[in-house]
Structure 1
Amino acid sequence: MKTILLHLYPDGQQDARVQCALDLARLFDSHITCLQVLPFEQFVGADPLGGVQVYGDVLAALRAQEQAEMERIADWMRNDGVHFDWLQAEGDIGRTIIVQSSLADVTILSQPGQGGPGRLHSASVVGEVVTRALGPIVALPSTGKKFDPAGTAMVAWNGSTESAHAIRLALPFLRMAGSVRVVEVTNDDGAAGECSAVRYLARYDIKADYITEKREGHSTGDAILAAAVRLGADYIVMGAFGHARLMETILGGVTHNLIAGCPLPLLLAH
């Protein structure tokens, strides 16, 4: 876990993302790559004749804001003693994050719709990144709950390729967890038996408990959240389902519901 990609935009959650990156950088002795992306729609518009007009004054103001934030956060990181570099880009936010995440061990975002002014961490952006990025995504909630790998980790398991992939990518974090609970949502009252995910983790010397959570008429997402609260989870590891770019179909219902309003940090992988 040596390279952290940190998406920066001056919204209400930016400092929480910075603090998360700093905490992980110290924990894993990692390098932070800070990424600022200016979306085209903020400084480019269409004129009445069908052409494209660039709002130079808007672009200049946004660049000045970026520079001020860059200086503030760079000072913060230097004072914290971490290694970092900086990337600035213009264009589509989701696509840019995906490209830059190709050699990142983890990417830090905020849960969608909770970023305050600008709402840059919209469901479409986070959904696109989660379902196309090669590495894991840490999605922070607006509750202020910090991502603490040493806390209680809850793994949402359903035997799918996505959930298996999430476990593999989460291994560096799960090794540090104080406890690991593998939770599978079921429709029956059957007692918890053996679980392939628990056996897999045991081979990495990670002791995990296997727990079944009865759906009892609730959605899978609600059942997962109920289990997380009951078990005192500090973060949830889960696979992300989805493939299309349209927000209505980009994420499976469980993934969409959780990233839209989970009070805990999510560690997601597709």
Structure 2
Amino acid sequence: MSYASIIVAVDPGARAAPRIGLAAHLARRLDARLIGVAAWGPDYPRGFGETSVPTGYGIEDLRQKAFDELRQAEEVFRLAARPTERIEWRSELRETLTFLAEQSRAADLVVVGRQGKNDGPHLAAAVGPGDALMAVGRPVLVVPHGVERLSATRAVVAWKNTPQSRRAISDAMPFLKLADEVQVVQVAKDGDRTELDDVVAYLGLHGVKAVGVLKVPNGGGTAETLLDAAEGFKADLIVGGAFGYSRLREWFFGGVTRNLLDHSPVCCLMSH
């Protein structure tokens, strides 16, 4: 597998440009096409929409404002993507997540940002990483605030014997093959290395230099143990399966996926 086409989600926030720059750098490195995608609807008065155009509410002005914002987003994309040659721009006045999911048919990888707790994003344009993971049907690279490059020379694979984890390893293979070192980390209380040895051997057949590391969960739980392992390894990429339990359960009670999405200081490539 290779990444021949990459989509980056673009929003009006100040954090879009670094995310686009990271995606553009990946596209150049992997000789891939880069597609910028943005969509949001006009900020209509409550109760109105595209099919309801009452007089006196400046509906056309609201539509024009949304079009202007999309044009500005395109300018940010084209500027931040330089000097990448193979780029495309796609935008519409549509619901953001639906449009992103539809356009993902044209890509191998979807890059999204992670909103911080104090962010005030354009609400109609905000794409949550969890929502993207459930909707796009592609591996999703989640970029936290402050990260402008992804070398992936050292990567941590969060291993658990689930369909999502197995899929994530396959989806991340272009990164793993480029990495100088890969750690496959399994968080478990017993010392059985059977699964780890199988995964390491499998990766070796694909030319990936990997070692298996068995970790006992620390007081913070599985996600914190994985983040500690990534920090100790000086990794800038974590690969893992997303939402092994139902997403609703993870969002209410917490889970590995949610904690990684909320707290990882490095990029996470996840598959569902």
Normalized against structure 1, the TM-score is what? 0.86
- Structure 1 vs Structure 2 CA RMSD: 2.7
Asked whether 1:61 is paired with 2:65, we answer yes
Identical columns (%): 26
List alignment gaps of at least 5 residues for structure 2. Answer: none
Structure 1 residue 100 and structure 2 residue 76: aligned? no
Q: Match of 2:27, as an amino acid?
A: A
Which structure shows the higher strand fraction? 1
Contact 1:11 1:119 in 2 (8 A): yes
**Cα 1:144/1:114, change in 2 over 3 Å:** farther
| Counterparts of 1:5 and 1:90, CA distance in 2 | 18
Structure 2 letter corresponding to 1:67: R
Once the two structures are superposed, the pairs formed by residues 102-251 of structure 1 within 5 Å of their partners are 102-113=105-116, 116-118=119-121, 125-144=128-147, 146-149=149-152, 151-188=153-190, 190=191, 192=193, 194-241=196-243, 249=251
Q: Given that residues 152 and 180 in structure 1 are in contact (C-alpha distance below 8 angstroms), is that contact kept between their aligned partners in structure 2?
A: yes
Compute the displacement of 1:221 (Å): 0.9
Structure 1 pair 81–221 and aligned structure 2 pair: CA distance change class (3 A)? closer
State the distance in 2 between where 1:221 and 1:21 align.
Answer: 25
Q: Indicate how the Cα distance of structure 1 residues 262 and 62 shifts in structure 2: closer, same or farther if over 3 A, else same.
A: same
How many residues align? The count is: 262
The verdict on how the C-alpha distance between 1:182 and 1:61 changes in structure 2, with shifts beyond 3 A counting, is same
What CA deviation, in whole Å up to 9, does each residue of 1:156-201 have, x standing for no partner? 001111001000000011100111000000123x275552211110
- Secondary structure of residue in 1 paired with 2:146: coil
TM-score normalized with structure 2 length: 0.85
C-alpha contact 1:131 1:242 (8 A) present in aligned 2: no
Question: Does the alignment pair 1:46 with 2:50?
Answer: no
In the TM superposition, residue 252 of structure 1 has moved relative to its aligned partner by: 6.5
User: What CA distance in whole angstroms lies between the structure 2 residues aligned with 1:136 and 1:247?
Assistant: 22
By how many angstroms is 1:210 displaced? 0.2
- Does structure 2 conserve the Cα–Cα contact (< 8 Å) formed by 1:6 and 1:32? yes
